A = this chain, B = another copy of it.
Amino acid sequence: MIVALAGGVGAAKLLLGLTQVVRPEQVAIICNTGDDIELFGLRICPDLDTVTYTLSGVVNPETGWGLKGDTFQCLDNLGNYGGETWFRLGDRDLATHLWRTHLLHQGFTLMQVTERMRSAFGVRSQLIPMTNEYTPTRILIDGGELHLQEYLVREQCRPRVRGLKYSHMEQARPTSGIEQLILTAEAVLICPSNPFISIGPILAVPGIMGFLHRTPAPVVAVSPIICGRALKGPAANMLQQLGHAVSARGVAEIYRNLVDVFVLDEQDANLAEEIEDLGMRVGVMDTVMNTTEEKVKLARRILELT
């Protein structure tokens, strides 16, 4: 089994490639839920949904999240009531959040709900929320803090990030099955996701770091930073604002003592040596994934390293 630690859009792209290189059933995805948010009483799990929608081919290809061709009638009307509309909930997408919330209220765990969703969408890989607990990531800014989604979506990543808080994480436990999956994995893949807000929360779930240290499987991370920039999202900003090198090397440092192999874009080949000095093997390849072919090719080349 190949075990992937995944955030949202970037991870979903690589997973789409990976599940064409190996059988989807051979892939187990441990997904970030630190980006979960409760809005209008609904539990929204953006990363879980992005992975589900992408792997089942129904994702909105223009945004990388949400459903293809979705409409926003309900949200518009919520706005008329004075509700906040910065989080773009589509009408069809809303069914996911309503159904999930309904099942959670009935006493199902997030894992059980995710399993039903996965099955409803015909996703054949295992999809596992990192924990069943609600552990929203908080972004510390000057004079206060924001929910991650407030920072990302409402504030469009404008506030300077002073720190992060993985809230309620002390009480969280890894979802059942994660220990076994990591310990018996053929390889563990850390997807090209933001190390602070996508991978960081997964690593912060008490226990998971220990499983990664104990597993005999190679742990391979793919840099989400190319030429000092993130293809999507605030990873570069966060590296800078939190005092890291704004480069693939900065990411590699964060993963030091955890990752065995670090995958670097060929445009950053010059960083290979200094990253090797951190005690990792380095793979250099084209990591930009625009087409399906590029996704498949990247997945194949990553597997060759393990």
Contact = CB atoms under 8 A, between A and B. Distances in A.
Interface of A: 40-42, 70-71, 73-78, 80-83, 90-96, 98-99, 101-102, 105, 116-117, 120
Contact of A95 (B77, B92, B99): B77
Contacts of A81: 95-96, 99, 116-117, 120
Contacts of A95: 74-78, 80-81, 83
Nearest to A77: B95
A121 to B, nearest CB: 9
Contacts of A71: 71, 73, 91
A120 B82 CA distance: 9
The CB with the most chain B CB atoms within 10 A, among A41, A93, A116, is that of A41
A161 to B, nearest CB: 30
A114 to B, nearest CB: 13
The CB with the most chain B CB atoms within 10 A, among A76, A77, A82, A90, is that of A77
Contacts of A90: 73
A73 B70 contact: yes
A42 B42 CA distance: 10
14 contacts: A40-B98, A42-B98, A73-B73, A73-B92, A74-B92, A76-B92, A77-B94, A78-B99, A80-B95, A81-B96, A81-B116, A83-B99, A91-B91, A94-B94
A188 B246 CA distance: 73
Q: Closest 7 interchain pairs by CB?
A: A77-B95, A73-B91, A91-B91, A41-B102, A78-B95, A77-B92, A81-B99
A279 B90 CA distance: 57
Given A40-B99, A70-B73, 18 more contacts: A40-B98, A41-B101, A41-B102, A41-B105, A71-B73, A74-B95, A74-B98, A75-B95, A76-B95, A77-B91, A78-B95, A78-B98, A80-B120, A81-B96, A81-B117, A81-B120, A91-B91, A91-B94
